[in-house]
Amino acid sequence: MKRSLIKEFRKIVGEKRCLWTPEDLYAYSHDCYARGNPELVLIVKSSEEVSSILRIANREGIPVTPRGAGTSLCGATTPIRGGIVLATNQMNRILEVSQEDRLAVVEPGVVTLRLHQAVESVGLFYPPDPASSAMSLIGGNVATNAGGPRCLKYGVTRDYLMALEVVLADGEILRTGSRAVKDVTGYDLTRLMCGSEGTLGVITRITVRLIPKPECKKTILTSFRTVEEASQMVSMIIGAGILPTTLEFMDHAYIRTVEDLMHLGLPVEAGAMLLIEVDGFREAVERQAKMIESFCRERGALGVQVGMTQEESDQLWAGRRMGTVALMRSAKLMISHDATVPASKIPDMVAHTHRIAREADLKVVIIGHAGDGNMHPIFLLDPSREGEMDRFRKASEELFLFTVRCGGTLSGEHGIGIEKNPFLHLQVDEVGVRTMKAIKAALDPKGILNPGKFV
């Protein structure tokens, strides 16, 4: 990048927030999937700064990749065409929490967990809970329409958005939505921006809807001999009119691998485990937990544990939360897909994934949000093994094809990024791609925002 341009950018953000040493560039070059070198990193503190930067970048045709915490699992944050990484982590103020209007107004750099804590301290609740919530930023969550275990009952990030402020590619500032719970004025630009992975604008202010904090919750951990038995239990719970907060699935390979690594006392003989949580008013929670417990026993569950206190509940969650981290340490490379199928197809999806992995000689474990069909086949790879990555790519394509044929989707929550870009055509037809391209061309005609990604 020309020195004169760097000077122009430095004038906007000041010297300390304009980074271009090799060490700094390296630190902002990757997310949790891939790497790509930026030429400049600009750490922004206001919408006005973002606007001034984009005006120049648009004039000069410089690529700009907006960045949250860089926890993307699909390379959405990787600056594959160089240019500028626009870091939003210092735009981190919670501007308002209104108990009266049940909403919060925040800047994009607020860590998700901080928002949870701030609203829960006044008896309110922001349900979307990506497992990365202790690191990810709310702007990144909006840009990827993040989900999480609680989304079975409460929905995803999109369902809690009321209004956004977005700086467009040419530096203009767009304001969408309102503070009203009901709002049908014009196109739903808020939802258009949600999940757009930094390709349509830079999100600089977010208004989210809040709900009352549930009075209590209960956690149940149960295991079954087979995947089919565990899946039947999922159908039985849903069929009985119970809508759990979470309904997490872990397969035999996951239980075995995590137990070998962490010695948590997990039932290694089980074909599958379910981690179920119910929340709400105390009486309702007690009743639902009892119903689930008796369903499990009736259906011959190998074991049922019920956690009453927060501490007991945390213990039951340990295998699920820590397991993924342990897996990361056990493999040279771990790639987690998030293909999502209709709930009735979960047993087929699990069987199919194991078959594909076996035939491709790949190691896979499966966890997932069983209630909403969002499965995570986690591939434990060794790129130094001959042909391993080629076999992995072929296996991924087969898996995505199967998912789409089942009426499912390539991505339930992580997004497309660069990881799933080559497979987009399996789900989005020509008309769909043309429509997406037309939207992109209208909002970012020079294609400077996060170029090389799904459009």
Ligand X SMILES: Cc1cc2nc3c(=O)[nH]c(=O)nc-3n(C[C@H](O)[C@H](O)[C@H](O)COP(=O)(O)OP(=O)(O)OC[C@H]3O[C@@H](n4cnc5c(N)ncnc54)[C@H](O)[C@@H]3O)c2cc1C
Instruction: Write each residue from 84 to 123 as x if it is in contact with ligand X (CB under 6 A), else as -, in one continuous string.
Output: ----x-------------------x---------------
At 100, which helix (H) or strand (E)? none
Residue type for position 74 = C
Residue from 140, 171, 307, 368 touching ligand X (CB under 6 A): that is 140
Residue from 47, 51, 58, 132 touching ligand X (CB under 6 A): that is 132
Residue from 47, 51, 58, 141 touching ligand X (CB under 6 A): that is 141
**147 contacts ligand X (rule: CB under 6 A):** yes
Q: Which two tokens stand for residue 58?
A: 């648009």
Q: Are 226 and 272 in contact (CB under 8 A)?
A: yes
**214 contacts ligand X (rule: CB under 6 A):** no
Residue from 36, 63, 68, 214 touching ligand X (CB under 6 A): that is 68
CB of 156 or CB of 266, closer to ligand X: 156
CB of 23 to ligand X, least distance (A): 19
At 451, which helix (H) or strand (E)? none
**67 contacts ligand X (rule: CB under 6 A):** yes
CB of 92 to ligand X, least distance (A): 11
Residue type for position 384 = S
Residue 432: left if φ>0, alpha if ψ -120 to 50, beta else—which one? alpha
At 172, which helix (H) or strand (E)? none
**142 vs 163: CA distance, rounded Å:** 11
Taking CB under 6 A as the binding criterion, the range among 61-69, 177-185, 235-243, 303-311 that sits at the site for ligand X is 61-69
Q: Are strands 64-67 and 84-87 parallel, antiparallel or unpaired?
A: parallel
Strand order, beta sheet including 94-98: 94-98, 103-106, 202-209, 161-167, 173-177
Query: What residues from 323 to 362 belong to the interface with ligand X (CB under 6 A)?
Result: none
Residue from 70, 271, 319, 452 touching ligand X (CB under 6 A): that is 70
Taking CB under 6 A as the binding criterion, the range among 198-206, 265-273, 283-291, 396-404 that sits at the site for ligand X is 198-206
- Alpha helices in 299-371, H assignment, sequence order: 310-330, 346-359
Query: What residues from 390 to 429 belong to the interface with ligand X (CB under 6 A)?
Result: 413-414
- CB burial of residue 138 (10 Å; 0-12, 13-18, 19+): buried
Taking CB under 6 A as the binding criterion, the range among 98-106, 117-125, 143-151, 260-268 that sits at the site for ligand X is 143-151
Q: Residue count at the site for ligand X (CB under 6 A)? A: 35
**130 contacts ligand X (rule: CB under 6 A):** yes
CB of 295 or CB of 423, closer to ligand X: 423
- CB burial of residue 142 (10 Å; 0-12, 13-18, 19+): buried
**148 contacts ligand X (rule: CB under 6 A):** yes
Taking CB under 6 A as the binding criterion, the range among 142-150, 279-287, 340-348, 438-446 that sits at the site for ligand X is 142-150
Taking CB under 6 A as the binding criterion, the range among 53-61, 63-71, 177-185, 431-439 that sits at the site for ligand X is 63-71
**203 contacts ligand X (rule: CB under 6 A):** yes
**Distance of alpha carbon 262 from the chain centroid:** 25
Give which of 105, 110, 111, 80 is closest to 199, Cα–Cα: 80
Q: Are 381 and 332 in contact (CB under 8 A)?
A: yes
**193 vs 145: CA distance, rounded Å:** 9
Q: Which residues bind ligand X (CB under 6 A)?
A: 31-32, 65-73, 76-77, 88, 108, 130-132, 136-137, 139-141, 143-144, 146-148, 197-198, 202-203, 413-414, 450
